[in-house]
Amino acid sequence: MQIDSTILENLEKLSHLHIDEDKKVEIIAQLSDILSYVENLNELDTDHLDASFSTLQGGTLMRSDEPYCDSAISHDILSNAPQSQDDFFIVPAIIE
Amino acid sequence: MFETVIGLEVHVQLNTKTKLFCSCPTSFAHRQNANTCPTCLALPGALPVVNRQAAIKAMRFGYAINARVNHHSIFDRKSYFYPDSPSAYQITQMHKAIVQGGELFIDLEDGSTKRIGMHQAHLEADAGKNTHDGDISKVDLNRAGTPLLEIVSAPDMRSSDEAVAYLKKLHSIVRYLDISNANMQEGSFRCDVNVSIRPKGQEAFGTRVEIKNINSFKFVAAAIAYEVERQTEAYEDGVYESEVVQETRLFDVNKGVTKSMRGKEEAADYRYFPDPDLRELIVSDEMIEEAKQMPELPDAKVERYIQELGVKRYDALVICSTKELAYFFEEMLTSNASPKNCVTWLTTELLGRLNKASLSIEQSPLSGAKLGELVSKIENNEINGKGAKDILDRLMEEDSSIDALIESMGLRQVNDDGAILAIIDDIIAQNQDKAQEYREGKEKLFGFFVGQVMKISGGSANPAKVNELLKKKLG
């Protein structure tokens, strides 16, 4: 995969980073190096393997559907929140 | 000419007792943030643990729509920044959902059915709620982490009627399965509509617009109608490319228009990746067995009513449209009344009265068993139809036994020939002239005699008998 200025621009946006014009060529070269290093993995033959998302064996744990609630916990958390009022967390106004 | 292409995404709130990843209750809390804990508030170190029951309900839905239930599925993080999500991501299933494919059959006005393909259904956690108040916003996280099943259809619908029929069918199925309360007003059944148009015959889809969070079937139809008109006009005016863009729009209920939700469409990259806090969701054989236990579903019920009970298709569809109505009907049948009469007394007599009183079938003052008993009493000639209607009127107001009402209202049907003949003789004696006219061919007068006999008997004479005996006496 080739990194070009369009991809770099998108990455800047996604990472909330600004990269100076005079640094762009250098950054593109570095990112391309990283990617080509990762491409070494393509030498492995994985055709006969299923895709996996974890190196761990077994599935996630599950619990039974029994409610438990300790109001002292939410009370503690609310009292440690930067701002709370009437048991609401308060944040600066957000416009939908 | 254009063709409309519609796909629907429905968020169904699963009716588990606890949240998807923690043991906090999902029930209504009187106090904001009362149903929260370190996990659903995303405190560092707190780990999510999957609610087994939520997985089973999702699987049950999968089996109900002939879908593939993936024995291995995974949870992903969908990142977004908003105060209703303290973790700054939603746990959902993007790469491999628990339910894939499937189908659902919708019933159309003309009596035909259409197959709607399903794309997938996946588990995800709901967000909290914000209330805006001047220069602050108040955050209540009671709902954060509540299990949702997002059900995504294929783009198989071609009109708003089909979209509404799909939603009604889906609604009915999740209610039958008892996996959700599916209350649109309360937000436990929320739908997003994807709409595009394309010239008839063109294979490629047009640009799709998503309309979010519409809370009634009526508004779904209105939002689609508006959007189709907007897109068609843009096409005809040659401004389709600039006016119709892939975006999220909101339906304005008051103005009946959709509006662009500008600002949000840029958040296209949610940085999905498998949640490292959760391993694969692997379902066990016991879970599969449990998930496959389900009640008879509406399509099967309709067929059974038609085949085994001789109910007309139209009536069967009406009765099976909600599980409450179907179960009421089945309760009526336990009285051994005939299915045909049960249909009439349920759909015409009871539903008519409930409608008038603005009551739903769940709020009916009398049970299915009781209405069934009333119908069987007509069939056993204990009362006649007119008397039964009067009794039903009373039962709408008071909880009495049917037998007591029959006695107190003097409605016990007179089936005894002698008693009816006595009345007939009296009437004919008092109306010699009319009897003569009838015999001379004025047949319309027959109704007059029937009316008189019924009146004198206080409505209790068996009408069939009255007809039969009158014919003999006058003939």
Q: Are residues B155 and B303 in the same domain?
A: no
Residue ending a domain, among B368, B388, B408, is B408
Q: Is A93 on the interface with B (CB under 8 A)?
A: yes
Tokens 């109306």 correspond to B431
CATH number for the domain spanning B468: value is 1.10.10.410
The token pair at B163 is 């979209």
Closest residue, chain A, to B132 (C-alpha) = A93
Whether the CB of A71 is below 8 Å from some CB of chain B: the reply is yes
**B248 and B309 fall within a common domain:** no
- Are both B126 and B265 inside the same structural domain? yes
- Residues of chain A contacting residue B47, judged by C-beta atoms under 8 Å apart: none
Contact state of B280 with A60 under an 8 Å Cβ cutoff: yes
Query: Which pLDDT value is given to residue B469?
Result: 85
In a domain, A87, yes or no: no
Residue B397 structural domain: 298-408
Same domain, B201 and B221: yes
Q: How many domains does chain B have?
A: 3
**B136, A66: Cβ pair inside 8 Å?**
no
Last residue of a domain, one of B388, B408, B428: B408
Write out pLDDT tens, residues A33-69: 999 999 999 899 988 887 777 777 889 999 999 999 8
Q: What's the pLDDT score for residue B455?
A: 84
- With an 8 Å Cβ cutoff, are B274 and A54 in contact? yes
| C-alpha closest to that of A62 among B75, B58, B278, B99 | B278
Tokens of B99: 């339910």
A-B contacts (CB, under 8 Å): 124
Q: A28 lies in a domain?
A: yes
CB–CB contact A91 B32 (8 Å) = no
Closest Cβ opposite residue A78 in set B33, B49, B136: B33
Partner A, chain B 64-103, Cβ-Cβ below 8 Å: 72, 74-75, 82-83, 95
Residue B265: the pLDDT is 44
Interface of B with A in 331-370 (CB under 8 A): none
The whole domain housing A23 covers: 5-43
Asked if the Cβ–Cβ distance from B37 to A70 is below 8 Å, we say yes
- Pair type for strands A62-63 and B50-51: parallel
A88 and B CB contact within 8 Å: yes
Residues B277 and B305 in one domain: no
| B309 and B396, same domain (yes or no) | yes
- For residue A96, which residues of chain B lie inside 8 Å, CB to CB? 132
Q: Which chain B residues are Cβ-neighbours of A7 within 8 angstroms?
A: none
ipTM over 0.85: no
- Answer yes or no: do B44 and B114 share one domain: yes
Inter-chain CB proximity A59 and B18 less than 8 Å: no
Last residue of a domain, one of B291, B320, B355: B291
Q: Are residues B251 and B317 in the same domain?
A: no
Residue B465 and residue B343 share a domain: no
Of the candidates B18, B55, B278, the beta carbon closest to that of A66 is on B18
Are B82 and A94 within 8 A, CB to CB? yes
Q: What is the mean pLDDT of each run of 10 residues along chain B (475 residues)?
A: 95 97 90 94 94 98 98 94 92 96 94 95 96 92 97 97 96 97 92 95 93 91 95 94 90 91 61 92 97 96 96 95 96 95 96 95 96 94 90 94 89 81 86 85 85 83 84 80
State the total domains in chain A: 1
For residue B23, list chain A residues with Cβ-Cβ distance below 8 A: 63, 66-69
Task: Specify whether B85 is located in the same domain as B230.
Answer: yes
Do B335 and B187 fall into the same domain?
no
CA-based torsion, B144, B145, B148, B150: positive or negative: positive
Instruction: Using a CB–CB cutoff of 8 Å, tell me whether A82 touches chain B.
Output: no
Name the residue in chain B with its Cα closest to that of A86. B32
Domain-embedded: residue A71: no
A26 min Cα distance to partner chain B (Å): 25
Does residue A37 sit within a domain? Answer: yes
User: B279, A87: Cβ pair inside 8 Å?
Assistant: no
- Do B188 and B276 share a structural domain? yes
Contacting A residues, span 34-53, partner chain B, CB-CB under 8 Å: 53
Task: Answer whether A74 sits within 8 Å of B43, measured CB to CB.
Answer: no
Chain B residue numbers touching A74 (CB-CB < 8 A):
33-37, 41
Could you tell me if B115 lies within 8 Å of chain A, comparing CB atoms? no
